[in-house]
Structure 1
Amino acid sequence: MRVVLVEDHHLVRKGLRLLLEEEGHEVVAEYGRAEEALEAPWEADVVLLDLNLPGMGGLEALPHLARKARVLVVSMHDEPAYVAKAFQLGAKGYLPKHALDQDLLEALARLDQGLRYLHPSLTEALLEAQATPGPEVLSERERAVVALLAQGYTLSQAAERLGLSVKTASTYKQRALNKLGLLDTPDLVRWAREQGLA
């Protein structure tokens, strides 16, 4: 397969290139920034895309790159919110950076067959996230309190920022816990971060 690499770390790009060429794939171009990949003329079957890029982020570039080739995200982010968003934006596969080299080759083989690929380590977390209600079940105030808690504010700091009493903020937090079926503040913070509210 003809592959384009969009990854800002030179050593990672070099490692990917060596692995791909060793397996008979052709790396037609490599870029350290998404803007370069979008502006350059190239033809390929697959783009290996990192999400953490300087300038335009990988998620922002993804829909544009997906019009030119199949996109396989290779990212350190393994939170369900990132995975779900990437597929919504047109990715055909998602591979965490802790994956093995054979996982990458398997992902490329699946994409070559017109199939999607999701690394096994992400499947369970994604299914669990889909089973948990999303932010839309919370009221605007409940969401605001939860988002501030997820950013590291204490309940009293969140209340102050929102112009609420601590008791009222606590009520919003408790309602959010009840609606989401969560037990405590750490669970709520984890959920909020997975949903991208932080």
Structure 2
Amino acid sequence: MNAPHARLRILIVDDHPMIRNGLAAMVRGEADFELVGEAAHGADAVRIAPELAPDVVLMDLVMPQMDGIEAMARLRPLLPSTRFVILTSLTEPGEVQRALQAGASGYLNKTASAQELVNVIRAAHGGRRVLSPEATEALIAASQPGQPGADLTQRERELLALMARGLTNQDIAEQLRIALPTVKFHITNILSKLGVGNRTEAVLLALKHRLVPPAG
């Protein structure tokens, strides 16, 4: 008699309990999947994953204490055969590129169906890289000439929108609850990515290309 095939060992990493519960139910519903653990953020994943040795990690990007990118960067040397599938609501080109550079085998939007996620998990475990249509479109748009702002991160877009409302650096720091040097760092990146020399030019370009909501 042939020995049964080993099930795919899956670790779920997400800071929202409801999402973890839904993903856990999906994993348990597949005969060839085995849920080996759950983590509420990247630091938890880094702590438990080496011992669990999952075949596939379902990883959120934005989490407290440690995000998915840093967690992947720390775990890949420890788990070279493990595949990482990003499950997130972010589809900005910069985030997709960062995830792929960090070693993600899959990038899927949280609006994906359970069957889509199952297919991506199996594909990633089989050595294929699978991107959601939204992530693919974002990368294509970013590669097209004449698309200013396509590589802005979500945080940079938030700052740009506040700049367009006329907020000062200090106002932005207080509203986003981040340090003033962090605001200045983000603004420097925004100006560089947009190819402009000052805040006024950045705001005008952002309004022209609808990177931020129009002032109302």
Q: Structure 2 length as normaliser, TM-score?
A: 0.66
The letter for the 2-side match of 1:83 is V
Give 1:126 shift.
Answer: 1.5
Deviation for aligned residue 1:122: 2.2
CA offset digits 1:66-89 (Å, max 9, x no partner): 332211000111222111110011
Structure 2 matches for 1:36-51, cutoff 5 A?
36-40=44-48, 41-51=51-61
Q: Aligned-pair distance for 1:169?
A: 4.5
Q: Which structure 1 segments of 5+ residues have no match?
A: 136-145, 163-167, 178-183, 191-198
Match of 1:194 in 2: none
Aligned CA RMSD, in angstroms, stands at 3.2
How many residue pairs are counted as aligned between the two chains? 168
Offset at 1:173? Answer: 4.5
* Matched AA of 2:129: R
1:155 touches 1:170 (CA, 8 Å); kept in 2?
A: no
Residue 55 in structure 1 maps to residue 35 in structure 2: no
Conservation of the 8 A alpha-carbon contact between 2:10 and 2:56: yes
Residues 58 and 186 of structure 1, relative CA distance in 2, 3 Å threshold: farther
Distance in 2 (CA, whole Å) between partners of 1:14 and 1:98 is 16
CA separation in 1, counterparts of 2:42 and 2:10?
Answer: 15
Contact 1:103 1:119 survives alignment (8 Å): no
Q: Gaps spanning 5+ residues in structure 2: where?
A: 1-7, 149-155, 169-183, 185-196
Q: Secondary structure at the match of 1:153?
A: helix
C-alpha distance in structure 1 between counterparts of 2:56 and 2:65, whole Å: 22
Partner of 1:150: 160
- 1:89-132 residue CA offsets vs partner (Å, 9 max, x unmatched): 11111011011111101101211221001012321222111224
| Map of 1:92 onto structure 2 | 105
Name the SS for the 1:55 alignment partner: coil
Residue in 1 that maps onto 2:209: 187
Does the CA-based 8 Å contact 2:163-2:199 persist in structure 1?
no
How many Å apart are 1:149 and its aligned residue?
Answer: 6.9
Residue 103 (str. 1) matches residue 116 (str. 2): yes
Alpha-carbon spacing, 1:33–1:52, altered in 2? closer, same or farther (3 Å): same
Offset from partner CA, 1:134-169 (integer Å, 9 cap, x none): 98xxxxxxxxxx9897142249767xxx9xxxxx85
Decide whether the 8 Å contact of 1:65 with 1:71 is kept in 2. no
* In structure 2, C-alpha distance between the alignment counterparts of 1:148 and 1:121, rounded to whole Å: 20
Deviations 1:6-27 (A, max 9, x none): 1111121111111111112001
Tell me how far apart the structure 2 counterparts of residues 111 and 65 of structure 1 sit (CA, whole Å): 16
1:125-144 matches, cutoff 5 A: 125-132=138-145
Deviation sequence 1:19-40 (CA, Å, 0-9, x none): 1111120011111121121122
* SS across alignment from 2:211: helix
Secondary structure of the residue aligned to 1:115 is coil
Give, as a single letter, the amino acid of the residue that structure 1 aligns with 2:18.
L
Q: Does 1:10 align with 2:23?
A: no
Corresponding position of 2:26: 19
Q: Compared with structure 1, are the counterparts of its residues 9 and 90 closer, same or farther at alpha carbon in structure 2 (3 Å cutoff)?
A: same
Residues 1:78 and 2:85 are matched in the alignment = no
